[in-house]
Amino acid sequence: MASWAFLAIAAAAIPRPAFAAEPAAKPFAGDVPVLHEEAAAAGIDHTYGGPWEFFVGGGGAAFDCNDDRFPDVFLAGGKGEGTVYVNRSQAGGRLAFETVPQDLDPKDLEDVTGAYPIDIDQDGRQDLVLLRVGGNILLKGLAECRFEKANFSWAFDGGRAWTTAFSAIFEPGNRYPTLAFGNYVDRAAPGSPWGTCADNVLIRPKSSDERDGRADPAAAMQGAGAPTGKPGGAQAPDYSEPFALSPGYCALSMLFTDWDHSGEPSLRITNDRQYYRGGEEQLWRVEPGRAPRPYRKADGWQHLSIWGMGIAEGDVDNDGYPDYALTSMGDTKLQFLDREFEDSPTYRDEAYQRGATAHRPYVHDAGKPSTGWHAGFADFNNDTQLDLFIAKGNVEAMPDFAAYDPDNLLMGGFDGRFTEVGEEAGIALPTKGRGALIADFNLDGAMDLLVVNRGQKASLFRNLGGRADFGERPLGNFVEVKLSQKDGNRDAIGARLAVKIGAKTLNRTIQVGGGHASGTAGFVHVGLGTAERAEIRVQWPDGEWSHPYRVFADNFVLIDRGADAARYWYPDADRPEPPTAETTAQSDTLQGQDGRAGSAIAPARR
């Protein structure tokens, strides 16, 4: 009853957002992707739920945890247990997943709001950061998608906060990443939840000198051969000195971003105005070796107060600088750096001009505003233009906001505007979306989508291709790129890809954070349209540019720092049939619809 009473008060206290109606959008002229929902058939049976602490959050992680390069999945369960799913999909075929039991205390997998993958200890395996209500947990990745708790061995105190956001970056000279945690309401403070936002936390790894040469504590206690993934006596990450980012304003998403191409990423935080007093959106300067400090009005930072839920970064206008989508209750913000203010983080909002406010449901519109959560840029139809996905859903039962609030798929046009195609694409479901994973789950070059829903089963959409009168047709060409380097930051977090096709350059950044309690790691996807070749340059995290790598379209490309040439990698065409009950006439029909099952590179895309 307490949670429902709280919800009723919150609903009554929220002023209705005011906005003007956007100009009527023209029908989208490009390919609309067909996103076929097949969670149950694929073996995904998962629900995020719980009391009011779990009205927010509801995320997951997509990453390879068994060395086959197919994206595996972890899904937060809220009050229930989180689940690891190994990807058994065939290349180009139907999606299939299996649960992987974990030798962990079940309580460590409960109360999880979200998760992000990152190789913290630099052993070549992805680890997991679990955001929780009451104490965050770092899970060290082992073989075959199994994990062990690493809080002790990495000197990490998970705290007791209600954590809802995360981001990470490798600062110069550090072998291990700097971790940032965003916290929501301080539930123990007097007067909670009103005006009681908890401080956020930044944790830099201690250097070898600071550790006085201390060896991995787990190895020291258990001896060589302990399951730490390191030789006996080897160094381990040490996260024993957290730094409070104060004031906190109830963060729901954060992202390290090099907004000005200075080579020193800052920490952007989107905050929920419902509970703070005198707060705003934040950008923290995080300079190596110095205490973080927030940008102020004198620095060019403009006051913005929204119900901030999620952050997405992408170079929408291809000018080389990052642009940002910020979800909220009501209209979405789409921010571009105002170049008139040199060296200042001053932004202009172009969501209205570009048709991207997504402020009300596009079907069954009852005149009530939407509630946006996860945001993510991706090229869903491989036409070279970034599209924008937004997970939508009522907080719980707020009467002043839309009850039927389907997720958005805003297709980017060559005129710079976005067009809503969610209903046509097949994602207009009556769900309460929260976090999401945008990834190529069957490695066919088309981006798929997994949405975590509150109080309902997760949705899993396979991208079948472009909608046509006869069914589906092939999308444009693509390239997917994976970077690697030695001596720390193996996955090149913070690096930038510049993919040139003709006179056009498409930019991508390797990042950990953002969205809504959800993160991905692995191949970076770039749609190439009709281009049959591409030229790739990499700006590595230290600022050094690579020479150009020339590659053919419709390939998975591995680029090792310093290598003379890029390498091609091909999904296993002989991968075993997924071991599920769906190897039936129904699944055969689904495979026949796109003609791609089992192909290493989809022939229709060549």
133 domain residue, yes or no: yes
Q: What would the mean pLDDT of 235-252 be, rounded to a whole number? A: 97
In a domain, 330, yes or no: yes
For residue 3, tell me if it sits in a domain. Answer: no
Q: Is residue 61 part of a domain?
A: yes
Q: How many Å apart are CA 415 and CA 412, to the nearest integer?
A: 8
Query: In this prediction, what percent of the chain has a pLDDT beyond 90?
Result: 82
**H or E element at residue 117:** strand 112-118
Residues 549, 554, 557, 563: is their CA dihedral positive or negative? negative
pLDDT above 70 covers a percentage of the chain that reads 87
pTM attached to this predicted model:
0.91
| Dist CA 281 CA 314 (whole Å) | 19
Of 490, 594, 388, 546, the closest CA to residue 119 belongs to 490
Collapsing DSSP states into helix, strand and coil, what is residue 218? helix
Lowest mean pLDDT, pick from 20-24, 153-157, 264-268, 481-485 = 20-24
What pLDDT does 211 receive?
Answer: 57
Is 25 inside a domain boundary?
Answer: no
pLDDT band at 1 (very low <50, low <70, confident <90, very high): very low
Two structure tokens written together for 149: 């708790």
Give the chain's mean pLDDT: 90
Structural domain of 304: 34-223+235-605
Mean pLDDT of 144-150: 98
| pLDDT reading at 559 higher than 60 | yes
- pLDDT tens string 339-357: 888 789 999 999 999 999 9
Decide if 43 is inside a domain.
yes
pLDDT score at 365 = 80
Euclidean distance between CA atoms 125 and 65, whole angstroms: 7
- Domain membership of residue 1 (yes or no) is no
Stretch 141-152: mean pLDDT, rounded? Answer: 98
Q: Position 497: which residue type?
A: L
Give yes or no for residue 317 having a pLDDT over 50: yes
- What's the CATH number where 72 sits? 2.130.10.10
Number of structural domains (the chain) is 1
**pLDDT value at residue 66:** 97
Q: Say what the pLDDT of residue 323 is.
A: 99
* Lookup result for tokens 């629900």: 47
Instruction: Tell which wins on pLDDT, 181 or 3.
Output: 181
Q: What is the pLDDT of residues 471-490, one digit of tens each?
A: 899 999 999 999 999 989 99
> Strand, helix or coil at 487?
coil
355 within domain boundaries: yes
Q: What pLDDT, in 10s, does the model give residues 286-300? A: 999 999 999 999 999
pLDDT for 500-538, tens place per residue?
Answer: 999 999 999 999 999 999 999 999 999 999 999 999 999
Amino acid present at 213: G
Enumerate the β-bridge partners of residue 376. 389
| Distance of alpha carbon 447 from alpha carbon 601, whole angstroms | 14
Band of pLDDT at residue 565, cut at 50, 70 and 90: very high
Local confidence band at 265 (pLDDT 50, 70, 90 cut-offs): very high
The C-alpha angle with vertex 458 and arms to 184 and 89, in degrees rounded to 5, equals 125
